[in-house]
Amino acid sequence: MSKATANGNAEIRELEQTLQAIPESGRTTRVSGQFWIWCGANIAPINWVLGALGINMGLGLTNTIIVIVVGNLIGMSLFGFFVLLGQRTGATAMVLGRAPFGRVGNYLPATIQALLVIGWCAVNTWIVLDLVMALLGEIHIVNPDHDNYGVKILVASLIMFIQVVISWLGYKAIASFERWTVPPTIVILIAMSITAWFFLGIDWGYAGIPGEILTGWSLASAMTAIMTAIGIGWGITWFTYAADYSRFVSTTVPRHRLYFASTLGQFLPVVWLGVLGATLATKSGSVDPGQLVVENFGVLAIPVLLLVLHGPIATNILNVYTFSVATQALDIKIPRRTLSIIVGVFSLIAVILFIFQGDLAAALDTWLIGIVGWVASWGGIMLVHYYWLERYVTKVDRLFDPVGSRRLLGVNWAGYVAFFAGILMTWLFMYGGTPLLQGFASQWLHGIDLSWLAGGVTSALLYAILGPIAARQIQPTYKDEDDTVAEVSA
């Protein structure tokens, strides 16, 4: 490593400790890091599970693949616009929310995000744990017929320690981890896919459970539910993360390069692993990741599992890192590294709770569909604000003003009206795994789930109308650092 590179890395580590916009001097001109970050974050067993979820819910293989591919084309294309926001402003997602939600009003979205990533760490680590137990059972270290709670907690603690250490080191460590671990993992996944698709007797014509083939409203309901969970909904869940990492990309990098590198990094592994999980599930109908792998690959599962274990770790280092910057957006004056340790502790507690969770399929489906409820609404508001109301603004220094700043509303009523209206519409059109998450509109539509569309469009339209009105309550313009005037209202 050259002295210049070492100095650059040290500068980035220092900049990350406190909440601030990343200056041009602390950014990189390489977009490959964004590809590997998002690719690594999605080469995870949870995507096997989600792919298998379609088969488990009664869909045929063809319909499951259609939903996965089309849904992710839409979801990832929208995700790319949030990536570009990070490059344009140098700010994290939750800091960017201070304009449309208000300096104090933004505490609610930031709190929701911080809490959700704890849950994601728990879900992803639990799935790793399940795979480890399957592996240990295969080589007769543990008895797979026993609960093995003590061993699971011990392994979970070790995995969480690794995740926290990498996130504690910061963006450069995360990017390096992904860049060096993803390529060999892809090689293993290629071998794994070839083995599955050409030698395991996959039922490519699988049309559903014999005698229970879905048709009409039942088919549409199942397809839209999976679309929300792993199609469009999967891309939407990453909206609140995107800017946290793309803020390190130089503004000299062409936007289209960053857009396609990031979206392709998301799209390829999600679709690949989703299809792999769906095809494996045609043999058993299972969504259990350990069962999917061990029963289909036998002894070959051992080297496969050892390498693929990196996937959830690669995902959770983003969760831990995003927790730290989301928490800082709450004006909590704790260094980012300390926050990484805190989230590790809370996530481990959540993992232990997940260990005792029974119905994995229902839990995951309900969890993911529920998340779309707030992210779709939040995303619609953010897109309108930064791609219309402030489409020409690149300097966001006012977002770092203290509470009480005259350049920001304390609580932006327009953002909140749009936000809660979007959430209400999301619920009305949601058809989740429990009665509480089954809205009246979706029931009227015989279980068709259009929650992400209803919530996002409602919040976007309302904010487009109300946002300019609220903006008149603050100074209509402000001075950038180069003394040029930037518009803050349409």
Encode the chain (490 residues) as per-residue pLDDT tens digits: 445 455 455 556 666 777 788 898 889 999 999 999 999 988 877 787 788 888 888 888 998 999 999 999 999 999 999 999 999 999 999 999 999 999 999 999 999 999 888 888 887 888 777 777 777 777 778 776 777 788 888 988 988 999 999 999 988 899 999 999 999 888 888 888 888 888 878 888 888 776 667 778 888 888 888 888 778 888 888 999 999 999 999 999 999 999 999 999 999 999 999 999 899 888 766 655 556 666 666 656 666 666 667 877 889 999 999 999 999 999 998 888 899 999 999 889 888 877 776 555 456 546 655 676 799 999 999 999 999 999 887 778 899 999 988 899 999 999 999 999 999 999 999 887 677 778 899 889 888 888 889 999 999 999 999 999 998 887 544 444 443 334 444 3
Report the alpha-carbon distance of residue 135 to residue 239 in Å, rounded.
Answer: 34
Q: Of 69, 451, 83, 41, give the one whose Cα is nearest residue 239.
A: 83
Report the alpha-carbon distance of residue 38 to residue 178 in Å, rounded.
Answer: 9
| DSSP letter for each residue of 338-382 | HHHHHHHHHHHHHHHHHHT---HHHHHHHHHHHHHHHHHHHHHHH
State the pLDDT at residue 284: 66
Report the alpha-carbon distance of residue 291 to residue 284 in Å, rounded.
Answer: 9
Beta-carbon contacts of 97 under 8 Å, excluding residues fewer than 6 positions away, are 106, 109, 110, 329, 378, 382
> Which two tokens mark 12?
């980035």
Report the alpha-carbon distance of residue 25 to residue 483 in Å, rounded.
Answer: 20
The type of residue at 400 is F
Beta-carbon contacts of 186 under 8 Å, excluding residues fewer than 6 positions away, are 43
State the pLDDT at residue 192: 82
Q: Which residues pair with 249 in a beta bridge?
A: 28
Q: Which residues pair with 168 in a beta bridge?
A: none
Which residue reads 């960017």 in tokens? 96
The type of residue at 28 is T
State the pLDDT at residue 304: 67
DSSP classification of residue 477: E
Classify burial at 120, counting beta carbons within 10 Å of its beta carbon; exposed 0-12, middle 13-18, buried 19 or more.
buried
Q: In the chain, how long is the greatest CA-to-CA distance?
A: 71
Q: Of 431, 452, 454, 444, give the one whose Cα is nearest residue 57.
A: 431
Report the alpha-carbon distance of residue 351 to residue 30 in Å, rounded.
Answer: 35
* Terminal Cα-to-Cα distance of the chain (whole angstroms): 48
Q: Of 166, 168, 185, 188, give the one whose Cα is nearest residue 177.
A: 166
Phi-psi category of residue 405: left, alpha or beta, with phi > 0 → left and psi -120 to 50 → alpha: beta
- Asked if 129 and 428 count as a contact pair (C-beta separation under 8 A), the reply is no
User: Following CA atoms 391, 395, 401, 403 in sequence, which dihedral angle do they give, to the nearest 10 degrees?
Assistant: 10
State the CATH class of domain 36-244+252-487.
mainly alpha
| DSSP letter for each residue of 30-53 | -SHHHHHHHHHHH-SHHHHHHHHH
As a residue count, the chain comes to 490
Strands (E), 97-137: none
Report the alpha-carbon distance of residue 389 to residue 382 in Å, rounded.
Answer: 10
- Asked if 245 and 37 count as a contact pair (C-beta separation under 8 A), the reply is yes
Report the alpha-carbon distance of residue 346 to residue 349 in Å, rounded.
Answer: 5
Beta-carbon contacts of 176 under 8 Å, excluding residues fewer than 6 positions away, are none
User: Following CA atoms 33, 37, 38, 41 in sequence, which dihedral angle do they give, to the nearest 10 degrees?
Assistant: 170
Beta-carbon contacts of 42 under 8 Å, excluding residues fewer than 6 positions away, are 265, 266, 269, 270, 273, 311, 315
> Which two tokens mark 427?
């619920």
Report the alpha-carbon distance of residue 106 to residue 113 in Å, rounded.
Answer: 11
